């Protein structure tokens, strides 16, 4: 890795770090904030729809960026996406109605959807010389430093001030994000994997293994409860206060940061078998949440952070290893779209079931995660069979 690419890699990490301070901080007590504004339980699920919108836009931005086929288009999606994410959430400081707050949270997901697939293409390129698993893992560590700092900062502001001042604090890291983005753009204006490809939309290179992987991960997300739902019910059931819920989220993000590099390294060694951890950990989250215990809520947060660490690192790396470079941006978009659809649908299902019965909710989670795990086992057998016949 030459010096300029190393600087770009570090800048991409700093961008994610500062951006996570903003949106993970603002989202750390999102459900509790909606409850504070008098929102009904369904509002926490609506925030989950933001994941659907954001992930759907990952597909759109992946297709459009591939169609335009230029570095300018890729970097423009990155810059616009980050600007929408980090400049919208501070306006929560002036919100008095839960539906306006929900809309702002949804708009932030639009920004993330626009930037993610193209940002991942750039990241995959600059990490080629160090190993994608380790590179994405190191990036996720920097990302999660921000994800840990944001909720802690938010909790501090809630303890000493109020929601308005807490949200306004995020203007500072948001400004830094945009400075880092344009600096990285100026240092790495030409994306090699984009400039050498024809300007067309191609779905080639997406094998049966790609679709098997996609369906396994969408099943996993169907049973993975969104944090907005977690934080809403922790407040709704009186398990924890607002500031402590934000601290709980900080713990989850801290765990995410701790496991990011080790899980990335593990992926480089055993590949897709490392993904088994995701459905197994997801399987235990709902039972711990429904116990309505403050102590068990911390255990639940740790497992939630483990799943997010896997989602943000090796779930993304896997796409690059089973897809041709020519279709990588679209592949990331397809993965994001389907994962977001299933996560959003799962959010509504889980919100309904949590109000209905803990036992039924747990049974639903077991079903989705066992199916996800079985599909991963089949995928690994296919990959092992392929490697034996080379």
Alpha-carbon span 116 to 255, nearest angstrom: 22
| 20 C-beta neighbours (distance < 10 Å), count | 28
pLDDT computed for residue 199 by the predictor = 53
Q: What mean pLDDT is predicted for residues 339-348?
A: 88
Residue 128: pLDDT band (50, 70, 90) is confident
List the domain range (segments joined by +) for residue 97: 3-388
- Dist CA 244 CA 91 (whole Å): 23
Q: How far apart are CA 45 and CA 49, in angstroms?
A: 7
Are 334 and 287 spatial neighbours (Cβ–Cβ below 8 Å)? no
The rounded Cα 98 to chain-centroid distance in angstroms is 24
Instruction: Encode 268-299: b = buried (16+ Cβ within 10 Å), e = exposed.
Output: beebbbbbbbbbbbbbbbbbbbbeeeeeebbe
Per-residue confidence (pLDDT) for residue 360, from 0 to 100: 97
Alpha carbons 208 and 339: distance in angstroms, whole number: 17
What is the model's pLDDT at position 390? 42
Residue 1 has pLDDT above 60, yes or no: no
How many domains, the chain? 1
pLDDT tens profile 368-377: 999 999 999 9
pLDDT value at 225 more than 80: yes
Question: What CATH number did the domain enclosing 241 receive?
Answer: 1.20.1250.20
pLDDT-based confidence at residue 115 (cuts at 50, 70, 90):
confident
Q: Is the pLDDT at 341 greater than 50, yes or no?
A: yes
Query: Is the pLDDT assigned to residue 156 strictly greater than 80?
Result: yes
Integer Cα distance of 133 and 199 in angstroms: 28
Q: Cα separations (Å) of 153 from 44, 188, 321? A: 22, 32, 37
**Residue 49 to residue 390: CA distance in whole angstroms:** 43
Region 118-137: mean pLDDT is: 75
Flag whether pLDDT at 219 surpasses 90.
yes
pLDDT band at 336; cut points 50, 70, 90: confident
Report pLDDT for 130: 63
The residues, any chain, with a CB within 8 Å of residue 78's CB and separated by 6 or more, are 115, 118, 119, 122, 181, 185
């Amino acid at each position: 890795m030459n010096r300029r690419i190393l600087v770009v890699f570090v800048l991409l990490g700093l961008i994610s770090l500062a951006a996570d301070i903003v949106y993970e901080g603002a989202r750390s007590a999102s459900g509790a904030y909606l409850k504070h504004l008098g929102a009904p339980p369904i509002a926490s699920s609506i925030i989950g729809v933001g994941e659907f919108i954001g992930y759907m836009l990952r597909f759109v931005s992946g297709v459009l960026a591939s169609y335009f086929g230029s570095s300018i288009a890729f970097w423009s999606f990155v810059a616009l996406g980050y600007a929408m994410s980090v400049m919208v959430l501070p306006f929560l400081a002036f919100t008095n109605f839960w539906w306006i707050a929900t809309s702002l949270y949804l708009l932030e997901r639009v920004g993330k959807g626009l930037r993610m697939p193209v940002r991942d293409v750039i990241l995959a390129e600059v990490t080629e010389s160090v190993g994608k698993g380790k590179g994405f893992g190191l990036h996720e560590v920097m990302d999660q430093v921000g994800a840990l700092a944001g909720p802690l900062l938010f909790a501090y502001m809630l303890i000493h001030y109020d929601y308005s001042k807490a949200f306004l604090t995020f203007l500072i890291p948001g400004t830094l994000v945009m400075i880092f983005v344009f600096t990285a753009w100026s240092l790495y204006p030409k994306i090699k994997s984009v400039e050498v490809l024809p300007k067309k939309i191609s779905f080639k290179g997406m094998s049966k293994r790609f679709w098997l992987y996609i369906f396994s991960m969408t099943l996993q997300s169907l049973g993975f409860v969104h944090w907005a739902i977690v934080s809403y019910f922790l407040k709704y059931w009186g398990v924890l206060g607002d500031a402590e819920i934000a601290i709980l989220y900080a713990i989850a993000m801290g765990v995410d940061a701790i496991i990011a590099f080790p899980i990335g390294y593990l992926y480089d060694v055993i590949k897709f078998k490392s993904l088994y951890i995701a459905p197994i950990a997801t399987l235990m989250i709902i039972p711990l949440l429904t116990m309505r215990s403050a102590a068990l809520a911390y255990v639940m947060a740790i497992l939630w952070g483990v799943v997010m660490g896997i989602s943000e690192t090796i779930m993304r790396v896997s796409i690059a290893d089973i897809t041709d470079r020519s279709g990588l941006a679209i592949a990331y978009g397809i993965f994001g779209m389907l994962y977001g659809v299933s996560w959003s649908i799962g959010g509504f299902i889980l919100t309904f079931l949590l109000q209905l019965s803990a036992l039924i909710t747990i049974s639903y989670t077991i079903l989705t995660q066992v199916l996800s795990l079985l599909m991963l086992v089949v995928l690994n057998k296919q990959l092992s069979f392929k490697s034996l016949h080379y």
